[in-house]
């Protein structure tokens, strides 16, 4: 038995040694040609060039018998967040039969520019394990279509049915012709590529006009078109990618000519000191001109200094009335009147208003005069006056231990004057500033520094009691224009579910308990009566029937006598029993 075991062990060791030697000898390589692995050269870099979507280069994974299941794998795609390469690598075609040795290939694949820098390997299966090739780094080379942009990298303006436009400043002389003294404009040829572009060419009306990544133009280019070409060595010089054509037009900066602000402030519905009553209509107007067609932004500075968009249609969405050319004004200059209609519906309309004439000369921020952040020499100040009203902020509460402070926000101009024009009502008890009722104290009414013409009334509760959430509280306000009552839901502020639920949990609970006890007692009595009636059947049987039953019982046969039918228990009349009880009681009393 010992000899066969020794032979088996020797054979096993021999097989293992052969497998290890095969694994050590087997090679896997990534190459650019389908050569046997012994003659193939391992690629350290895989270059894919994009001309359109699919690449023209092909790569191969080659090995030798007895390996199988060759495949390409990406070792760091997950780390680099490259999600589309895995499916492409899995699409490799097996060409083993065609070339006579284990091989797969990737060709005519759709690559992505973000694959650059990813690492791939070729992997083969051998005796239950895997054999990997040396890694190769992917380099995707491409050059996209170039674009003409300004010095800030902003694209030209796209005008419907007219194409792309850039503008150069036009300062017109007495002859209405653009002077050369205007600011010149720098344009860039912007292109995305790998490797970076090194060759540029500019074309004026389709003809070469200069080289380099930038070009500076002035009024001499007005009415002309400009394009650029770029190359990074991937294209022939005669076939370099070309940008879109951009038309150069004269630029007359947008400017504000006049407005109607002063006229508005000196007429109805404005009152003295720029005051205006609520629910009035105000129509603002600004006349502007420029080329390209100017746009207007309406701005407002709040009393706290914040600058926001006024409640008017803005920019391209604005309301305009265009004026026809007249006098010495050039036909290229567009003059129009922008309109803004304000309905003064609340105190948030108080502030300083102005309009800004703007030129959209690129896809970036517009050039405006006056600034979007600071008004110019002309503006409209609006001071809204009216009856007290609710603020946008709802009533709130501040809790500290067993104490709380209720804060009620309101707006009014003029401000309600204490003590009579601002009052807290607590269960029909009026509290003026500084007064106390039970555990409620009206602390103060102070200005809200963040909202114009708005204030905060403060009611302190010390200490907070359970019944306070059922109080009926309201803030009563009035001024010369009207009055307002702002209710305060204590149930909501103190966290109660509802007033009705709170009341049920107090004295109504007692009523429900009493009703439930009465119902329970009635049920007990009903059950007892039903049991008694069951033990004493119908009281309506006549007395003679009771006597007859007694005689029948007297003549009744004994228990051993034969019977035709089963014997039923004698029927007992409740009325007879009651009579007998009364008779017995009378006899006993006689005795």
**Structure-block tokens of residue 118:** 């990813």
* pLDDT grade for 10, boundaries at 50, 70 and 90: very low
What does the alpha-carbon distance between residue 449 and residue 302 come to, in Å, rounded to a whole number?
A: 11
For 374-383, write each residue's pLDDT tens digit.
999 999 999 9
Q: What is the pLDDT of residue 297?
A: 96
What does the alpha-carbon distance between residue 94 and residue 149 come to, in Å, rounded to a whole number?
A: 47
Between β-strands 157-159 and 163-169, what pairing exists: parallel, antiparallel or unpaired? antiparallel
For 56-68, write each residue's pLDDT tens digit.
789 999 999 888 8
What does the alpha-carbon distance between residue 344 and residue 278 come to, in Å, rounded to a whole number?
A: 5
What does the alpha-carbon distance between residue 404 and residue 439 come to, in Å, rounded to a whole number?
A: 10
Question: Residue 530 belongs to what H/E stretch?
Answer: helix 507-535
Q: What is the pLDDT of residue 173?
A: 74
Residues 262, 263, 269, CA angle at the centre, nearest 5°? 110
Q: For residue 260, what are the contacts with CB-CB under 8 A and spacing of at least 6?
A: 283, 284, 285, 286
Q: pTM score, two decimals? A: 0.59
Q: Could you give the C-alpha distances from 578 to 532, 539, 544, in angstroms and in order? A: 13, 9, 14
Distance between start and end Cα atoms, the chain:
124
Q: What is the pLDDT of residue 104?
A: 95
Mean pLDDT over the full length of the chain: 83
578: pLDDT strictly greater than 60: no
Compute the average pLDDT of residues 537-543: 47
Q: Helices 574-590 and 543-554 sit at what angle, rounded to 10 degrees?
A: 90
* pLDDT grade for 160, boundaries at 50, 70 and 90: confident
Q: For residue 158, what are the contacts with CB-CB under 8 A and spacing of at least 6?
A: 164, 165
Question: Where do we find the tokens 């008694």?
Answer: 532
């Amino acid at each position: 038995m010992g000899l066969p075991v020794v032979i088996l062990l020797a054979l096993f060791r021999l097989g293992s040694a052969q497998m290890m030697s095969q694994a050590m000898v087997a090679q896997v390589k990534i190459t650019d040609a389908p050569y046997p692995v012994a003659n193939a050269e391992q690629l350290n870099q895989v270059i894919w060039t994009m001309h359109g979507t699919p690449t023209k280069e092909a790569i191969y994974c080659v090995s030798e018998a007895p390996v199988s299941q060759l495949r390409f794998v990406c070792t760091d795609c997950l780390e680099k967040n490259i999600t589309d390469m895995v499916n492409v690598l899995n699409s490799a075609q097996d060409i083993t039969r065609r070339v006579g040795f284990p091989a797969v290939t990737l060709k005519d694949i759709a690559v992505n520019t973000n694959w650059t820098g990813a690492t791939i390997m070729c992997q083969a299966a051998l005796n239950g394990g895997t054999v990997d090739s040396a890694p190769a780094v992917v380099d995707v080379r491409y050059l996209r279509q170039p674009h003409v942009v300004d010095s800030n990298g902003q694209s030209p303006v796209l005008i419907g049915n007219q194409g792309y436009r850039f503008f150069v400043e036009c300062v017109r002389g007495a002859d209405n012709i653009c002077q050369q003294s205007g600011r010149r404009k720098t344009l860039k040829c912007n292109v995305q590529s790998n490797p970076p572009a090194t060759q540029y060419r500019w074309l004026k009306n389709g003809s070469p006009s200069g080289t380099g990544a930038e070009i500076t133009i002035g009024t001499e280019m007005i009415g002309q078109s400009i394009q650029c070409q770029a190359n990074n060595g991937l294209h022939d010089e005669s076939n370099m990618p070309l940008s879109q054509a951009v038309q150069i037009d004269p630029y007359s900066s947008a400017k504000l000519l006049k407005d109607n602000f002063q006229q508005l402030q000196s007429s109805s519905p404005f009152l003295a000191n720029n005051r205006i009553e609520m629910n009035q209509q105000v129509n603002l107007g600004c006349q502007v001109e420029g080329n390209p067609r100017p746009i207007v932004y309406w701005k407002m500075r709040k009393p706290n200094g914040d600058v926001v968009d006024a409640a008017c249609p803005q920019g391209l969405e604005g309301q305009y009335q265009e004026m026809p050319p007249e006098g010495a004004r050039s036909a290229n200059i567009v003059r129009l009147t922008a309109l803004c209609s304000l309905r003064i519906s609340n105190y948030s309309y108080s502030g300083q208003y102005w309009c800004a004439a703007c030129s959209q000369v690129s896809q970036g921020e517009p050039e405006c005069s006056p600034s979007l952040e600071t008004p110019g020499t002309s503006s409209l100040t609006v001071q809204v006056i009216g009856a007290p009203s609710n603020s946008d902020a709802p009533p709130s509460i501040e809790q500290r231990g067993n104490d709380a402070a209720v804060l009620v926000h309101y707006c009014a101009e003029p401000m309600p004057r204490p003590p009579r024009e601002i009052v807290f009502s607590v269960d029909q008890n009026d509290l003026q500033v500084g007064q106390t009722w039970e555990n409620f104290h009206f602390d103060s009414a102070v200005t809200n520094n963040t909202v114009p013409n708005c204030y905060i009334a403060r009611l302190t509760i010390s200490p907070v009691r359970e019944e306070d959430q059922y109080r009926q509280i309201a803030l009563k306000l009035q001024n010369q224009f009207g009055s307002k009552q702002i209710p305060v839901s204590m149930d909501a502020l103190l966290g109660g579910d509802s007033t009705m639920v709170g009341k049920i949990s107090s004295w109504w609970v007692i009523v429900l308990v009493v009703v439930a006890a009465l119902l329970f007692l009635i049920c007990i009595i009903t059950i007892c009566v039903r049991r008694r009636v069951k033990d004493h059947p119908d009281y309506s049987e006549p007395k003679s029937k009771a006597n007859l039953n007694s005689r029948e019982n007297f003549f009744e046969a004994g228990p051993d006598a034969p019977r035709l039918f089963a014997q039923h228990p004698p029927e007992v009349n409740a009325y007879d029993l009651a009579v007998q009880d009364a008779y017995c009681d009378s006899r006993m009393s006689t005795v």
